[in-house]
Amino acid sequence: MPAQQQTIALAQYEVTQGQPDLNVEQILGFLKAAKAAGASVLVLPEMCTTGFHWEQNRLLLNDAHKVIDHLCQAARKYQTALTGSFLEKTERGNAANTQYFIDSTGQIVAKYRKVHLFTLFNEQSHVESGSEITTVDTTIGRCGLSVCYDLRFPELFRKCALAGAEIQILPAAFPHPRLEHWQTLNRARAIENQCYFIAVNQCGVETHQGDDQDTHYFGHSMVVDPWGQVLLEAGEDSGLFTLEIDLSDVSKVRNHLTALRDRRPDLY
């Protein structure tokens, strides 16, 4: 059974487009610092080793597994779990936007392929969508996995909560001008499911393939508790942010305000 109190590390940074070696170097620095801070897990943003230039990413597909192998070795070296969204080559040879959860022994204990693809950036033309909702038992508790645009679809998070998720983890690349949406939806997903919500966003600027304008990611990575209180909210700059959470707060809130038990699935 996981210890009730856990230290979590969030790595918010600007992803260098199409340069996995440079991004992995950043991640290794964050992982070392997270270990030094006593963190059980390091949470990374969306597409955290490649960014979103899909023409470039097609060229990186065949070696995508090597990046994950390298990070598995690093997790084992630093005895610190890590999770984030990465480029993955599917069984059909397509690109996928996939969240991995790698435990502190370097084992991949769960994968979640992004279900809701971001049509505003034409992601569905470049990425094979997932078809399964994923929860996983980890050393920090039972976690639900999700990626970025999923945030706007509450049904996914409710299904994770009903599967026992105490913590929801969301790697993201949310840009201006939707900061208020980000802040509001992160709190809403935590409140309605009475869980910890950990959302790690990119920062910096990126040019998306086919777009005329640069995309400005606003950071503001967040941790929200099961009562909806914001425990941590970063600014727009790169950095490593750590805090301690108490898993017992999940059961306390759920027992105090029994919203999950009071649902009417016979009607909806």
Which H or E element spans position 31? helix 20-36
**Catalytic member of 114, 123, 143, 206:** 114
Which of 99, 101, 79, 103 is closest to 88 using CA atoms?
Answer: 99
Q: Is 236 annotated as catalytic?
A: no
Tokens 């709190």 appear where? 187
Cis peptide before 177 (omega within 30 of 0): yes
Q: How far apart are CA 234 and CA 86, in angstroms?
A: 22
Q: Is 143 annotated as catalytic?
A: no
DSSP string, 180-241: HHHHHHHHHHHHHHTSEEEEEE-EEEEEPTT-SSEEEEE---EEE-TTS-EEEE--SS-EEE
**Catalytic member of 48, 72, 143, 148:** 148
Q: Is 159 annotated as catalytic?
A: no
**Catalytic member of 14, 35, 46, 88:** 46
Q: What is the dihedral of CA 125, 101, 15, 64, to 10 degrees?
A: -60
Active site residues: 46, 114, 148
